Amino acid sequence: MSARTEVLDALHRAGYTPDEATQLLARADKEPRDVEPDPDFRETLAGGHALIVEYGDCELIGSCQCGAKFGRTTPDASLDTFVPGWERHCMTEVPRG
């Protein structure tokens, strides 16, 4: 059983409906995780569309802060590999508010 499933089960036992528990967990997923935040560089996961590049299993993985995926590449490739997809996402796919 995953930790996420265990948390949802605990919330159900505490009286949350399945929808309420899922929504609460989704809100928690978007909260900053830095225990001692740097006021000059605030972490945020809610809203925003920053380009995120992560290293995993000998490859670079590009995604948006909102969760959109931009693919994978090798560590010796330019990070610019992810920019066209990210720009297209920000300019055409993100709703204007």
pLDDT of residue 59: 94
Contact 62, 50 (CB under 8 A): no
- Residue-wise pLDDT for 28-83, tens only, equals 777 666 667 677 666 655 567 889 999 988 999 999 888 889 999 999 999 899 99
Is 90 exceeded by the pLDDT of residue 91? no
Is the model's pLDDT at 87 over the cut of 80?
Answer: yes
Strands, sheet with 59-64, edge to edge from the N-terminal-most edge strand: 51-56, 59-64, 69-73
In this predicted model, which residue has the larger pLDDT, 20 or 94? 20
Contact criterion met (CB below 8 Å) for 22 and 8: yes
* Euclidean distance between CA atoms 15 and 75, whole angstroms: 47
Q: Flag whether the pTM goes above 0.75.
A: no
